[in-house]
Amino acid sequence: ARPAISMATAVSLCLPRALLHTSAPRPSFDSRVSVSSAGSTLPDARRLCRRSSAVSAAAGASPPEAGTAAWDALGGVSVFAAGTGDAVPLSDLWDPSEGVVVVALLRHFGCFCCWELASDLKNSMPKFESAGAKLIAIGVGTSDKARILADGLPFPVDSLYADPERKAYDVLGLYHGLGRTLFSPAKIYSRLDSIKEATKNYTLKGTPADLTGVMQQGGMFVFKGKELLYAWRDEGTGDHAPLDDVLGICRQVPVA
């Protein structure tokens, strides 16, 4: 039988030892704000959005919110396909006119909580497809690191992309810092069974070589064409968007 995951083990899996001794100020937690999509035909377009002034590296910039601001900001961002290593403009991954897409940004490919999230995303793909939505996942690291998760979980390699320089995370205003990486034990303990199931083949080899990448938090976004419908920014490790809420947004989009 596999041994239970202790909190000490969980911390070591999530955060390399070198960073546990790093002296860094704890970033402040900003309030949550609601965002509405101007002109949206959705009956319930107002969705909870989390934003922070302490974003990854977008100095002085506020995260783009409703409307097409996020799409416009992503125009210069490319990610790397896990299967081929080829650079692909992020905004080319869905139809800019009517396509509905869920963009899930994982922390990094060596994060065990992200293996759990990727497992949940994979299992939910048929539901999102039936709702007419495409689902893509992005993680911090290289394509080689992405394939470690894809092979070990497994996860569909054609839906997985790498962002080694965290450019999409910067543009979308996702949290970064040591304080947020040291997660709440309650969030992890409540999902230990799910985590253990998803991490049967887990390995730390997916951790990015640049250890600042492990302090990156993830998030989840829903677009209809160029319009941002939903934004969730993880406030800490394991603080994932409720997939039922995300699926509900996709099901509300009128079929063309």
Percent of the chain scored above 90 by pLDDT? 52
Reply yes or no on whether the pLDDT at 43 is more than 80.
no
Of the candidate ranges 8-12, 199-203, 251-255, the one whose mean pLDDT is the lowest: 8-12
How sure is the predictor about 93, in pLDDT bands with cuts at 50, 70 and 90? very high
Q: Name 76's Cβ contacts closer than 8 Å, sequence gap at least 6.
A: none
> Closest Cα to residue 136, out of 48, 235, 223?
223
CA distance 85 to 152: 18
Interval 220-234: pLDDT, tens: 999 999 999 999 999
CATH code of 68-251, in short, is: 3.40.30.10
- Tens of pLDDT, residue by residue over 106-165, are 999 998 889 999 999 999 999 999 999 999 999 999 999 999 999 999 999 999 999 999
Q: Is 38 exposed, middle or buried (0-12, 13-18, 19+ CB in 10 A)?
A: exposed
Summarize the confidence of residues 160-179 as an average pLDDT: 93
Bigger pLDDT: 255 vs 100: 100
